Amino acid sequence: MLLEARDLTKVFGGFRAVGGASLDVAEGEIVGLIGPNGAGKSTFFNCLAGDNPPTTGTIRFRGQDVTKATPEAHARAGMARTFQVPVTFEDMSVAENVMVGAFLRHGHRAAARRVAEEVLAFTGLDHLADTRAGSLGTPGRKRLEIARALATEPVMLLLDEALAGLTPAEVRLAIELVRRIQQRGITIVIVEHIMEVILSLAERAVVFHQGRVIAEGAPRDVVDNPEVVAAYLGHHMKRVRRG
C-alpha cells in the first residue's frame, strides 16, 4: 500500500470531527472521498496532508510513519496537495508560482524553470506563464495549484475540492486533466462534492458520515448503498420535502 491511514480521530475541543476513520490507497489509484457537508472528509484530508496531525491513529506513506510529520516533510516524501480555497502566491507570475514547487527537487534556477515550463505545458497554462497569479479567476487558480503541486514531482496528489465552483465545461476540462495526471503514474485522492466527478473519475469511493467511513467500493455501488442514500441523499430529500 502506498498510503495506510489507521483509525484516525481528530478532536477539536469537545467536537470529534473524525472518529476512527481508516483508508488504504494503492499505487496508481484514484480514490474519491465523498460525504455530506461536515462529514469530516476535509479534516481527514488535512490529517493525511500533515496540515493538522490526527489526535490518535497512524498514517504510513511509502512505508514510513508520517503521522506527526510537517507539511513540508510530506512534500519532500512525495505527497502534494491543493487547497479547498486556492492559495496562490498573488504577487508572483504563474510561472514563478510553479517554480516554487519545482525548487523542492531542483536547487538551480534554470532547472526549476525547465520543470516549471514542462508542467505549465502539461496543465495547459503555458500561455499564462507571465500573468500575475492574482489576476487569475477561480478555474485558473485551481489549475495553477495543481500545476504547482505537480512541480514538486509527487508520487501522490491530494485534491481538495479541486473542481468545486467550476462551470460544467470547466469541470470536464479538469476531469480530463486529472485523468492525464493519473496516466503519469501519480496516485490521486480527491475530496469532492460533485457526484458526477466521482462517478466519472474515481475507481473507488469512500463515503464519510459523521466522522466515520460508512461505505466503500465502486462509485456506482456506493451510490446505491441504502446507508449512503440515507446519510447523503436522504438528508437532502428530507430538506426538499420540508421546503
Partner 1 sequence: MKQWPLVLLGFVVIAAWPLLTSDVFLQRLGALVLLSAISASAWNLLGGYAGQVSVGHSVYFGAGAYASLVCFTHFGWPPIAGAPVGMLVSMLIAAVVGTPTFRLRGHYFSMATIAAAELARILAANVPLLGAAVGLMGPPVPRSAWDLSFISPIPYHYLFLAVLTLLLALTWQMQRSKMGFYLAAIRGGDRAARSLGVPVLRYKLYALLLSAAFTSLAGSLYAVMIGFVDPDSGLGILISVKMVIVAALGGAGTLFGPLVGAIILIPLEETTNAMFGGSGTGVTFIIYGAIIVLIARFRPGGVADLWHSLITRGRRGAARGA
Binding site for partner 1 (CB under 8 A): 49, 51, 70-72, 74-76, 80-81, 83, 87-92, 96, 99-101, 103-104, 107-109, 112, 148-149, 151-152
100 or 199, CB closer to partner 1? 100
What minimum distance in Å lies between the beta carbon of 74 and partner 1?
A: 8
123 or 207, CB closer to partner 1? 123
90 or 221, CB closer to partner 1? 90
What minimum distance in Å lies between the beta carbon of 48 and partner 1?
A: 12
113 or 235, CB closer to partner 1? 113
83 or 208, CB closer to partner 1? 83
What minimum distance in Å lies between the beta carbon of 184 and partner 1?
A: 18
What minimum distance in Å lies between the beta carbon of 218 and partner 1?
A: 30
What minimum distance in Å lies between the beta carbon of 156 and partner 1?
A: 13
Angle, vertex CA 205, rays to CA 9 and CA 86, nearest 5? 70
